[in-house]
């Protein structure tokens, strides 16, 4: 049994969560559930990034305090637990969690002791949406490549972090996969960024520009710690860095793997800035950074400003949790953005869940109820007609585990649907209804039908187990239909309703 510490990124809370946020939460949750299902000890963590300038601006626009603003919006992210069936063990709000500020102050002090901060006056092009300075050649037609907005020209005297000091060390760690970045295209992107030369970055901002919101720089109360330096610290402050040495030792230092799941827009911070900060502070690095792509709507990035940001709770209310989770894990590409539409979600749910897996479970339970009064026959040791079905089932655990290890959720889901496909083919080939007729006419004994029914129940029970990381609500429904490991099936009832497009 291993020990894993798995985190999502923590989003800014300057608006309602949208379906793009849900993707990262669902992927991370499925990964954590898979690890737990195979017997590993897992801590899954998420949260919100509260100390951002755009949160201050959002509060000012509404005429309330930043504290009131972020508390209200963070609650919307926490509330996604139920509609998305999330199983996170920890949720950190960086503005109010008592673990956070002491840990960030300790991280700053450790980097300062290493001599990695210096004061510098500078001017640069700053995107509030990214909380990032861009060089002119990084802009697209003079606009932020992420948000499409024109950056502000900012002139300040701030504390800078000596990122350039760690260029060679970072290149070595990433190129040798000691710091593993998945997929490989993102690894190459980070290496190219490092090879172009790393420049030191601003690690603080003036207290006046921050409107007094954020963690003051230790020893310099006129400055606050830059939002990204502050926010990245959540990965170690939540498990106890600076407040709980024993818990931090258990979950960070002694874990077999520390895994970050992030979106491609923040790769520079997580794959370059963050490991450099940890190297400076003498703290162990994460092991793996999985970078997911974006969901799009009509080819455009989903965002509040674009007006195409559907609320995941509304999507679940219109369809159901199983449908949304399944689409995200079954259809979203590992490389390249994926367009979200209601039609695609419904089509995938109906094809895979209602018509394939749900149909197999319903026919299996109904036939055991009809032909054997609900009593499940014992599995036959030898069943030549089920050879293809058994082969697919035997291959599935290794395929699913390898796919999750590679963060290839689509391939893992395909291995599950393959079992359903083969199970339905087995029903059509074995024709248990004909075996039941032959049995009633005394043209055959019960052994042939018993073997088929037992094989189907075993298949559906394995489907329930494999579906647990993907569909934690549906998996126990399937197990219950199949008797929860007992000798009898339950009364048949549809596990997955067929979904219709809204009128």
* Residue 487 scores a pLDDT above 90: yes
Q: Look at 399 and 12; give whichever has higher pLDDT.
A: 399
- Show me where the domains of the chain are located: 3-317, 354-482
| pLDDT band, very low/low/confident/very high, at 308 (cuts 50, 70, 90) | low
263 vs 298, residue with greater confidence:
263
pLDDT at position 450 over 90? yes
Residue 303 has pLDDT above 80, yes or no: no
Is residue 56 within 8 A of residue 66, CB to CB? The reply is yes
Query: Tell me, what's the pLDDT at 168?
Result: 98
Q: Calculate mean pLDDT across residues 56-60.
A: 84
Rounded CA gap, 379 and 456, in Å? 9
Percent of the chain with pLDDT over 90: 77
Q: Closest Cα to residue 187, out of 201, 176, 200, 198?
A: 176
On the question of pLDDT at 305 being above 70, the answer is: no
**Phi and psi angles of residue 455, each rounded to the nearest 5 degrees, phi first:** -65, -40
- Beta strand spans in 241-386 (E): 257-263, 288-292, 295-297, 300-301, 338-339
Q: What CATH homologous superfamily does 354-482 map to?
A: Isoleucyl-tRNA Synthetase; Domain 1 (1.10.730.10)
Confidence band for 133, pLDDT divided at 50, 70 and 90:
confident
CB-CB neighbours of 439 under 10 Å:
18
Q: What is the pLDDT of residues 351-399, one digit of tens each?
A: 999 999 999 999 999 999 999 999 999 999 999 999 999 999 999 999 9
Classify 453 as helix, strand or coil: helix
> The pTM is what?
0.93
Contacts of 429 (CB under 8 A, 6+ apart): 385
Q: Which residues are catalytic?
A: 18, 21, 127, 130, 144, 147, 301, 304
Assigned CATH class of 3-317: alpha beta
CA quadruple 344, 349, 352, 356: dihedral sign: negative
Phi, psi of 50, deg, nearest 5? -90, -25
Tens of pLDDT, residue by residue over 37-46, are 999 999 999 9
* Res. 307: pLDDT tops 80: no
Which pLDDT score, from 0 to 100, does residue 211 have?
A: 84
Bridging pattern class, strands 295-297 and 257-263: unpaired
Predicted confidence (pLDDT) per residue in 205-214, tens digit: 988 887 888 9
Mean pLDDT, rounded, of the chain: 93
Residue 130 has pLDDT above 80, yes or no: no
pLDDT band at 119 (very low <50, low <70, confident <90, very high): very high
pLDDT in tens, 82-98: 999 999 999 999 999 99
pLDDT at 304: 62
**Quick one: 221 exposed, middle or buried, by C-beta within 10 A (0-12, 13-18, 19+)?**
exposed
Which residue has better confidence, 365 or 70? 365
pLDDT confidence bin for 147, thresholds 50/70/90: low
């Amino acid at each position: 049994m291993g020990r894993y510490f798995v985190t999502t990124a923590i989003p800014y809370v300057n608006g309602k969560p949208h379906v793009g946020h849900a993707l990262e939460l669902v992927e991370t949750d499925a990964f954590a559930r898979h690890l737990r299902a195979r017997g590993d000890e897992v801590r899954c963590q998420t949260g919100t990034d509260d100390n951002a300038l755009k949160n201050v601006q959002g509060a000012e626009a509404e005429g309330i305090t930043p504290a009131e603003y972020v508390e209200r919006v963070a609650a919307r992210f926490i509330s996604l637990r139920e509609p998305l069936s999330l199983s996170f063990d920890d949720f950190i709000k960086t503005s109010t969690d008592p673990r956070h500020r002491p840990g960030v102050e300790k991280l700053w002090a450790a980097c300062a002791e290493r001599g990695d901060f210096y004061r510098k006056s500078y001017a640069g092009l700053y995107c509030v949406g990214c909380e990032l300075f861009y060089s002119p050649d990084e802009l697209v037609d003079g606009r932020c490549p992420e948000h499409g907005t024109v950056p502000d020209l900012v002139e300040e005297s701030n504390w800078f972090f000596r990122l350039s000091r760690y260029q060679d060390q970072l290149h070595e760690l990433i190129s040798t996969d000691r710091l593993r970045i998945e997929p490989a295209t993102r690894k190459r992107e980070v290496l190219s960024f490092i090879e172009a030369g790393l420049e030191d970055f601003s690690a603080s901002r003036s207290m006046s520009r921050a409107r007094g919101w954020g963690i003051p720089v230790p020893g310099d109360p006129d400055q606050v710690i830059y939002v990204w330096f502050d926010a990245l610290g959540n990965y170690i402050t939540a498990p106890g860095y600076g407040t709980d040495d024993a818990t931090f030792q258990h979950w960070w230092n002694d874990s077999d793997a520390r895994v970050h799941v992030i979106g491609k827009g923040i790769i520079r911070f997580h794959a370059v800035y963050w490991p450099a900060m940890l190297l400076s502070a003498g703290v162990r690095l994460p092991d793996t950074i999985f970078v997911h792509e974006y969901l799009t709507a009509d080819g455009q990035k989903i965002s509040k400003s674009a007006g195409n940001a559907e609320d995941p709770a509304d999507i679940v209310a219109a369809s159901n949790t199983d449908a949304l989770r399944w689409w995200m894990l079954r259809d979203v590409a590992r490389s390249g953005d994926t367009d979200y539409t209601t039609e695609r979600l419904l089509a995938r749910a109906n094809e895979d869940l209602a018509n394939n897996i749900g149909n197999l479970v319903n026919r299996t339970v109904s036939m055991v109820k009809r032909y054997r009064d609900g009593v499940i026959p014992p599995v036959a040791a030898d069943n030549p007609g089920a050879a293809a079905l058994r082969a697919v089932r035997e291959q599935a655990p290794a395929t699913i585990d390898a796919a999750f290890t590679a963060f290839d959720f689509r391939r893992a889901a395909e291995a599950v649907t393959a079992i359903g496909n083969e199970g339905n083919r087995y029903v059509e080939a074995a024709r248990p209804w004909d075996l039941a007729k032959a049995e009633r006419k005394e043209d055959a004994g019960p052994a042939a039908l018993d073997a088929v029914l037992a094989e189907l129940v075993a298949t559906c029970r394995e489907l329930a187990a494999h579906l647990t990381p993907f569909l934690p609500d549906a998996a126990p429904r399937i197990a219950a239909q199949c008797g929860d490991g007992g000798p009898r099936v339950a009364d048949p009832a549809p596990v997955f309703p067929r979904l219709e497009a809204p009128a």
